[in-house]
Amino acid sequence: MSHRTAPATPAASPRRQRPLLWVGLVGVLALLGGVVYPELRNSGIYRKGESAYQTGDCPTAIAQFTRLQDLNAKKYVTRAIPLRGECEQFLKIGTDQAAAGPSATLVSYSQFLTFNPDTALLETVQQQTRTLFQQHSPDALADEKVCSSMTALMNQNLIVDPATQAPALHFACGKKDEAQKDYAGAIQHYGSVLNDYPNAAEARDAEAAIARTLVAQANETGAGKIPPPQPLGSSGNSSSVVKIRNDSPNVLRIVFSGPEPQFAELPPCRDCQVYSTPPRSCPEKGAEGTYTLKPGQYSVLVRAADDSSVTPFTGNWSMQQGKAYSSCFYLVRRRV
């Protein structure tokens, strides 16, 4: 009887390298994690700060950018510095507002946009200036710096409701200049109301203010005196009428400042001479204009529109109801 021995089963060889390989992989992953995690963290912090900056939430933006600086995340700190700077400038304007006053604050916002023309804080700045206009009257906002910055304020859309706020601010600036005897500045602001916003509530008052300021400006520069007009009789109605003749070789500009302001021009008289002594009576050669006025007291200015060397003349005229008057102007050149 034969005996067969079962074939020997080879013993399983020990797999001692697997634990070593696993440990090696874990070590590599841990090493990579040490690099990737700070990058992801810093990137997330920056995105939060940038998002807050873009929505005008500067306190949050500054807090996130400060975290990056504390973490020494140089790559993101470099990008965050200009955004953080804008936010700090913006917040400082608000902090200083109580001491600076509304007009200085408005100018500061304008200067902020001048130095940061592409800022994402534009809408936030406009919201702040809208609040300034809501909380303060045009007279409170109108000072020298604001009045000289009107063009910039308009271009930067910081006057957010230009149809109403711009004429009101121009008119307030005109009053300030007029009170300080800066008549040229006052006329410029009043003129902006009339020319740019003829339908504004301030337009009629601006017209009267221009007439008043032109007379004051002429008196300040040594204007001559116009005698009262000569009575002609009845005007034919309840108004006052004055007829003015231009017997001078210059274009005459006439301003009536009073209950019903008016501005007029008379063309030159080409055949009229320049006198060395006043004529005995009106030459009656030039154009004549007839002006209907509401009765009352008027300050009148007559000047040569085409020759600044000709002395302007002003006078106080009492225009009576239902009365007509006449006046004549000619040029007398006196030897100096």
Q: Which domain holds residue 130?
A: 101-220
Are 327 and 226 in contact by the 8 Å Cβ rule? The answer is yes
Could you tell me which of 273, 277, 288 has the C-alpha nearest to residue 325? 288
Last residue of a domain, one of 190, 220, 250: 220
The secondary element (H helix, E strand) that includes residue 93 is helix 74-100
Edge to edge, what strands does the sheet with 224-225 contain?
Answer: 224-225, 313-319, 296-304, 252-257, 262-266
Indicate whether 31 belongs to any domain.
no
Q: Is the pLDDT of residue 12 over 80?
A: no
Pairing status of strand 313-319 against strand 296-304: antiparallel
Q: Quick one: 271 and 183 in the same domain?
A: no
Are 331 and 270 in contact by the 8 Å Cβ rule? The answer is no
The secondary element (H helix, E strand) that includes residue 139 is helix 138-141
- Give 220-225's long-range contacts (Cβ < 8 A, gap of 24+): 220/181, 220/183, 221/312, 222/311, 223/301, 223/311, 223/312, 223/313, 223/314, 224/311, 224/312, 224/313, 224/314, 225/313, 225/314, 225/315
Q: Which residues pair with 330 in a beta bridge?
A: 247
Taking the C-alpha atoms of residue 284 and residue 326, their distance in angstroms, rounded to an integer, is: 12
Output the six-digit token pair for 62.
Answer: 């500054």
73-78: average pLDDT: 92
Predicted pLDDT at 25: 47
Q: Quick one: 310 and 212 in the same domain?
A: no
Between 168 and 335, whose confidence is greater? 168
Could you tell me which of 32, 61, 33 has the C-alpha nearest to residue 48? 61
Output the six-digit token pair for 298.
Answer: 């008027």
208-227: average pLDDT: 95
Q: Quick one: 228 and 119 in the same domain?
A: no
Query: Residue 283 contacts by C-beta under 8 Å, 6 or more apart in sequence?
Result: 247, 272, 328, 330
131-152: average pLDDT: 95
pTM of the complete model: 0.80
SS3 233: strand
- How much of the chain, in percent, has pLDDT values that exceed 70? 88
Are 158 and 112 in contact by the 8 Å Cβ rule? The answer is no
Last residue of a domain, one of 220, 235, 254: 220
Q: Using one digit for the tens of pLDDT, what is the confidence trace for 270-324?
A: 989 999 888 888 999 999 999 999 999 999 999 999 998 899 999 999 999 999 9
Q: Quick one: 169 and 260 in the same domain?
A: no
Indicate whether 37 belongs to any domain.
no
Q: Quick one: 177 and 282 in the same domain?
A: no
Last residue of a domain, one of 182, 205, 220: 220
Q: Quick one: 308 and 208 in the same domain?
A: no
Predicted pLDDT at 1: 44
Indicate whether 253 belongs to any domain.
yes
Fill in the amino acid letter for 229.
Answer: P
* Counted domains in the chain: 2
Q: What is the largest CA-CA distance in the chain?
A: 175
197-226: average pLDDT: 95
143-152: average pLDDT: 95
Indicate whether 254 belongs to any domain.
yes
Indicate whether 292 belongs to any domain.
yes
Least-confidence region, from 24-28, 60-64, 79-83? 24-28
Are 87 and 121 in contact by the 8 Å Cβ rule? The answer is yes
Taking the C-alpha atoms of residue 174 and residue 104, their distance in angstroms, rounded to an integer, is: 18
Query: Residue 76 contacts by C-beta under 8 Å, 6 or more apart in sequence?
Result: 42, 43, 45, 46, 68
Q: Quick one: 229 and 303 in the same domain?
A: yes
Could you tell me which of 237, 234, 217, 218 has the C-alpha nearest to residue 226? 218
Q: Is the dihedral of CA 147, 263, 332, 270 positive or negative?
A: positive
- The CATH number assigned to the domain holding 237 equals 2.60.40
Q: Quick one: 171 and 228 in the same domain?
A: no
Predicted pLDDT at 104: 96
Output the six-digit token pair for 303.
Answer: 């000047």
Indicate whether 129 belongs to any domain.
yes
Predicted pLDDT at 36: 64
Predicted pLDDT at 37: 82
Taking the C-alpha atoms of residue 72 and residue 45, their distance in angstroms, rounded to an integer, is: 12
